[in-house]
């Protein structure tokens, strides 16, 4: 199924069958891949995927918004077609440094910065540190604190055996983890998230170090630092939560909203943690309402 057919099947509304330009930028010693959708003179939206995803996680959203915005989707370090970190540095500082370099290299200003999960953490950290570049922020199903059950489920999923004999075995694995997705949508997503090895088997298209059980888990100091960043964000901010999320509870969402200087909350029905893919029309409507309230794209 083509991207456009899959988008229509998922209820995504779009005005044209747009395709992105695939581009690369060398930043801080690494080669970064990104997708560039839309008019370069249009207001920029920069989208950051979550852990174990790629820039293609935003294909439906890019289709829906690229007629009015320049939508950029970045493969963050260790993911997709971007280089892996040779020193294994996937820290918050490394991600924010990459984001700073990317935005400065492309000379992006007045950005609407949208991030899911890991990408949301990187987005609100950058927005706190560089308010001069960010017009508005959208944080999707992430907060400085996470519900224990959801964080554990994600770790358990990414730490499972990472080489399988067939593509279809990965399809079945993802179905078990996220039964809300259709078979066609899962296959379309995995087409960008898997690669075939020389031995004929399949594996994930992101750095193996990121799914190692021995990878250190962040402690209380890290959480406190993230709360500090949330409190420093000054731009209008939309916090998006999936109604069935096991990562961000309603209590944590409301706590985050109280810490934001200029925040609002949207709860998307029929969605878990991976909101933009679980319920694309619901997510797009929430994003459009937020942008309309800012007068973006006028």
- Over residues 43-75, the pLDDT tens digits come to 999 999 999 999 999 999 999 999 999 999 999
Closest CA to 7 of 49, 60, 46, 57: 60
Pairing mode, if any, of strands 194-196 and 202-204?
antiparallel
For residue 37, what pLDDT is reported? 97
For residue 188, what pLDDT is reported? 85
User: Radius of gyration of the chain from Cα atoms?
Assistant: 18
Element (H, E) at 120: helix 118-129
Low-confidence residues of the chain: pLDDT under 70:
148-151, 153, 155, 296-298
pTM for the whole structure: 0.94
- Over residues 247-274, the pLDDT tens digits come to 999 999 999 999 999 999 999 999 999 9
SS3 288: helix
Domains of the chain: 3-149+235-294 (3.40.50.1820)
């Amino acid at each position: 199924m083509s991207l456009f057919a899959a988008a229509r099947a998922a209820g995504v509304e779009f005005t044209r069958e747009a395709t992105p330009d695939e581009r690369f930028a060398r930043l801080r010693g690494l080669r970064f891949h990104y997708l560039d959708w839309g008019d370069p003179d249009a207001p920029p939206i920069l989208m950051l995927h979550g852990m174990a995803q790629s820039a293609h996680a935003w294909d439906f959203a890019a289709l829906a918004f690229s007629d009015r915005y320049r939508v950029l989707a970045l493969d963050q370090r260790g993911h997709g077609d971007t280089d892996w970190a040779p020193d294994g540095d996937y820290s918050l500082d490394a991600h924010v440094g990459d984001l700073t370099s990317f935005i400065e290299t492309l000379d992006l200003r007045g950005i609407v910065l949208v991030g899911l999960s890991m990408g949301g953490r990187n987005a609100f950290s950058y927005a706190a540190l560089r308010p001069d570049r960010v017009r508005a922020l959208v944080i999707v199903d992430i907060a400085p604190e996470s519900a224990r059950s959801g964080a554990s489920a994600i770790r358990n999923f990414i730490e499972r055996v990472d080489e399988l004999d067939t593509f279809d075995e990965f399809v079945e694995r993802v179905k078990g983890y996220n039964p809300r997705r259709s078979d066609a949508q899962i296959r379309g997503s995995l087409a960008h998230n898997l690669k075939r090895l020389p031995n004929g088997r399949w594996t994930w298209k992101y750095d193996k170090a990121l799914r190692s059980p021995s990878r250190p888990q962040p402690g209380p100091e890290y959480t406190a630092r993230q709360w500090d960043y949330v409190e420093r964000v000054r731009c209008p901010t939309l916090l998006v939560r999936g109604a069935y999320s096991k990562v961000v509870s309603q209590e944590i969402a409301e706590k985050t909203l109280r810490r934001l200087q200029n925040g609002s909350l949207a709860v998307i029905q029929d969605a878990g943690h991976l909101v933009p893919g679980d319920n694309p029309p619901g997510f797009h409507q929430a994003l459009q309402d937020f942008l309309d309230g800012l007068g973006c794209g006028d």
